[in-house]
Every structure is written in C-alpha cells, then in structure tokens.
Amino acid sequence: MDTKEVTYVGVGRVGDFEERIGRVVRIGGVELAVFRTTGGEFFALENRSPGPRGGTLADGIVSGVVLFDPICDWRIGLRDGAVLAPDTGQVRAYPVRVQDGEVQIGYSAS
C-alpha cells in the first residue's frame, strides 16, 4: 500500500453516519461527502457533482455501492468515483478505513 503518502484523519465514529445517507465532512479546505452503505462499507467522494449542472453529492440516493447524483441523476460508483455508462465523468474518491470504530479518511498532503 502507498500509505506513506497518505495521511489518515479521524472524522467520527461509525455510529455518527446513517446507512445510505451521506454526510458532509470538511477536511481543511476540501469538502467531502461520506457514505456508509448497507454492507457497512465507508466511502468518501469530493462533494461536487460531475454533471453539467453542478451541485453537491452528499444528498444523493445510495444503492449498493452506487450513488445517484441528486441534481442530474447520473450514477456514480462509490469505490472509484467514476460515472457509470451511459454518462461519463469522474469524481475524486478518497480512501476510507475504519479502525476501532473510528472512521478515518486518507488525504494526501499535496
């Protein structure tokens, strides 16, 4: 793993996040949308819609590991932030891990 370049910061306990309801987390100047899936996995995306009309992502509908953009209804893969066909685009995805019940998000200092 390339953990040397990535710093993990704690953003809260697992219980602070509702399943399938995104929450906005700000780390420094970056605004993220953090999601907890039904399977208990956590994902973090930059909170910015890739669609033509802009907007944020945190309030989209989560299904499995796919997020439906609340503004343009595009489908975005939570794992890698890639927009799914037939649309195209990319949202920046951040690594998330859970340690001792704490949700930690990795960001690179650069």
Partner 1 sequence: MNATTTRQRLVVIGNGMAGINTVEQILKLDPQRYEITVFGSEPYPNYNRIQLSYVLEKSKSIDEIILNSWEWYRENGIDLRTGTTVTRIDTDSRTVHTEDGTVVPYDKVIVATGSKPLMLPIPGADKEGIVGFRDIADCETMLHAAKLYRKAAVIGGGLLGLEAAKGLLKLGMDVTVVHLVEELMERQLDRTASLMLQAELESQGLKFATGRQTAEFLGGQRVTGLRFSDGTTLEAEFVVMAAGIRPNTEVGRASGLTVNRGIVVDDYMRSSAPDVYAVGECGEHRGVCYGLVAPLFEQGAVLAKHLCGVETKPYEGSVVSTQLKISGVDVFSAGEFMDAPDLNVVRMHDEWHRIYKKVLLRGGRIVGGVLVGDGKQAARLQQWIRTGTVMTEEIHAAIMGTAAAEAGNSAADLPDEEIVCGCNGVTKKHIVDAIRDNGLTTVDEIKACTGASRSCGGCRPVVEQILQFTLGDKYDSAAAKKEGICGCTKLTRDEVVAGIQEKGLLTSKEVMHVLGWDNPEGCSKCRPALNYYLGMIWPAEHQDEKDSRFVNERMHANIQKDGTFGVVPRMYGGVTTPEDLRLIADVAVKYNVKLVKVTGGQRLDLLGVSKEDLPKIWEDLGMPSGYAYAKALRTVKTCVGSQFCRFGTKDSMGMGILLEKKFERLDMPAKFKLAVNGCPRNCAESSTKDIGIVGNEGAWEIYVGGNGGIKSRLADLLCKVKTDEELVEIVAAFMQHYRETGKYLERTSDWIERVGLASVTAAVVEDTENRKALAARMETALSQVKEPWKEVLDNPVLRQRLYSEIQVPVGTK
Name the site residues for partner 1 (rule: CB under 8 A): 9-12, 16-21, 23-28, 34, 38, 50-56, 59-64, 68, 70, 73, 85-86, 88-90
The neighbouring-strand residues paired with 93 are 45
Cis bond upstream, residue 86 (ω within 30): yes
Smallest distance, Å, CB 3 to partner 1? 14
Smallest distance, Å, CB 2 to partner 1? 19
Q: Which is nearer to partner 1, 6 or 27 (CB)?
A: 27
In contact, 31 and 46? CB cutoff 8 Å: yes
Q: Which is nearer to partner 1, 27 or 98 (CB)?
A: 27
In contact, 11 and 108? CB cutoff 8 Å: no
Q: DSSP assignment, residue 15? A: G
